[in-house]
Amino acid sequence: MAKIGFDIGGTNIAAGLISDEGTLLKKGSLPFPQDKDFEKVLSTCEQLVKALEEGNEPVESVGVAVPGSLDATASIVLNAFNLGFCNTPLKDILAERLGKKVFLINDADAAVLAEHRIGSLKGCTDAFMITLGTGLGGGLILNDKLYRGGRGHGSEPGHLILYNGGRRCTCGNDGCAECYCSATRLVTDGKSYGWTTAKAVIDAAKAGDDFATAIFNKYVDDISSYLASVINLLDPERIAIGGGVSAAGDFLMTPIRENTWRKVFFNERTDIVIATAGNDAGIYGAAFIAE
């Protein structure tokens, strides 16, 4: 039976009807209520379900991807700052409201799950994914399953410490990988030269600008050190890189591969590829956890 997957973000609530075979049959999106009013969030979800079910069999269960941390039973959203959720028992409330079974997943985990089922990590038993966006998200597939951690927290790949005593991270620690591998790092380093986006820095480096090239090379070197450590720890079959920065394509991927392979302990070369599940990965991943 088809499932509905929700991807709740601070700008939009997107939802899709996904078939048993993993095909997106129908999709809808409505703005996330700007005043973060919880009642409006629920009614928006309800509207989307109605729209998706119109002309189709009603679904029995829905999955919901949220940008925040969940409790160990995946019933309560502990914190989703962009949504204004704090200790919100979303699973039960939404289940009652929709009259359906509800399953929650962190949005980064949903993206990893989607990548594993329908994207570039399909067929891998052990794999790792990072998303180079405003932050550094991602997750792990271990033994053919999304790794949920010993206590239900899964992994936080953005907060592995890459530089002891390094740049201050939004999490309060210093030197996290997120400070060096995210798109924000390129923006931070490029600002004093007048580049205000990661794409602007990368485009300037492509055009041969010396300062942009220096920033870009350091960025690649940092990502590569990070990935080499991940490979040394996990020996994954493949690593997928997603997020806005990955749009740089081979210009980014070729030096990352070469630099990473040079640093890895093992002689074999881990496959490092661009993520392919796309913008609907959250919807897919959410639907895939719905039972």
Task: State the residues that interact with Zn ion by CB under 5 A.
Answer: 159, 169, 171, 173, 176
Closest distance of CB 283 from Zn ion, Å? 27
Closest distance of CB 159 from Zn ion, Å? 4
Closest to Zn ion by CB, 47 vs 173, is 173
Beta strand residue intervals within the chain, DSSP E: 3-8, 12-18, 24-31, 61-66, 69-70, 77-80, 85-88, 101-106, 127-132, 136-142, 145-146, 238-242, 271-274
The helix-helix angle for 198-206 and 210-234 (nearest 10°) equals 110
Closest distance of CB 173 from Zn ion, Å? 5
Structure tokens at 267: 């002689």
Structure tokens at 104: 């929650």
Closest to Zn ion by CB, 3 vs 159, is 159
Closest distance of CB 271 from Zn ion, Å? 27
Alpha-helical runs (H) found in 182-249? 183-190, 198-206, 210-234
Q: Is 206 left (phi over 0), alpha (psi -120 to 50) or beta?
A: alpha
Closest distance of CB 73 from Zn ion, Å? 25
Closest to Zn ion by CB, 61 vs 184, is 184
Closest to Zn ion by CB, 7 vs 107, is 107
Closest to Zn ion by CB, 7 vs 189, is 189
Closest distance of CB 146 from Zn ion, Å? 22
As a whole number of angstroms, the distance between CA 35 and CA 91 comes to: 21
Of 1, 2, 46, 10, residue with least CA distance to 28: 46
CB 111 within 8 A of CB 286: no
Q: Beta strands 271-274 and 238-242: pairing type? A: parallel
- What are the strands of the beta sheet with 3-8, ordered from one edge? 24-31, 12-18, 3-8, 61-66, 101-106
Closest distance of CB 129 from Zn ion, Å? 18
Closest distance of CB 259 from Zn ion, Å? 23
Closest to Zn ion by CB, 159 vs 238, is 159
Closest to Zn ion by CB, 129 vs 169, is 169
Structure tokens at 38: 């919880």
Closest to Zn ion by CB, 170 vs 276, is 170
